[in-house]
Amino acid sequence: MLEEDIAEILIDEKTLQARIRELGEQISRDYQGKRPILVGVLKGAFMFMADLIRHISIPHEIDFMATSSYGAATESSGIVRILKDLDTPISGRDVLIVEDIIDTGLTLDYLLRILRARNPASIRVCTLLDKRERRRIPIPLDYVGFEIPNKFVVGYGLDFGEIYRNLPYIAVLKPEIYRGNE
Ligand code: IMP
Ligand code: MG
């Protein structure tokens, strides 16, 4: 059972959903009269994206990118590979990147540089989680769900070794689960 591997629930389902509703309402206000493209970064952001857009009341489109960072399981290398690019041209469009978590910031920094080169009208970032103490590159974040401490978390789209994405909350695993994988 997956739940047996959990040491602590950091953000429970109710708290998550209440904050996601607020973010959706704020985005709806900020993009009033516009038709933004929300770009979800796979795989981690899939669940957040699905819940977030249910609280967005203005017309918008969605698209996805998939990236993979080389290196160990719980550490970003800064070398990012694009596994799936956007289907939509974004020149002249209002782009809102939807991320699961910003850790070192290396992945998002790379992504922002690629997308800015395509001349969008605007580009903003919405992340569910912000592990601010780990930041190695300053990244302007427009919408942040929660700031979290420097702990490796799983659930609500986030994985450890591709498992635990389905959990409806954000949790920390028992140390023996991570051991040998870092
Ligand atoms: P960054 O490039 O260091 O900011 O890391 C970005 C990516 O690393 C995120 O989009 C996640 O896929 C992954 N990541 C960073 N921290 C965690 C975590 O605590 N749990 C699960 N994945 C994480
Ligand atoms: Mg990610």
Q: Which residue has the higher pLDDT, 166 or 107?
A: 166
Is the peptide bond prior to 43 cis by the omega test (within 30 degrees of 0)? Answer: yes
The CATH number of the domain covering residues in 14-153: 3.40.50.2020
Pairing of strands 143-147, 122-130: parallel
Span 10-37, pLDDT tens digits: 999 999 999 999 999 999 999 999 999 9
Instruction: Name the catalytic one among 94, 100, 103, 130.
Output: 103
Q: How many residues does the chain have?
A: 182
- Please give the model's pTM, rounded to 2 decimal places: 0.94
Span 47-95, pLDDT tens digits: 999 999 999 999 999 999 998 866 555 556 667 889 999 999 999 999 9
Spell out the domain ranges in the chain: 14-153
Q: Give the position, in ligand 1's atom list, of the atom nearest the Cα of 80.
A: 2
Query: Among this protein's residues, is 142 annotated catalytic?
Result: no
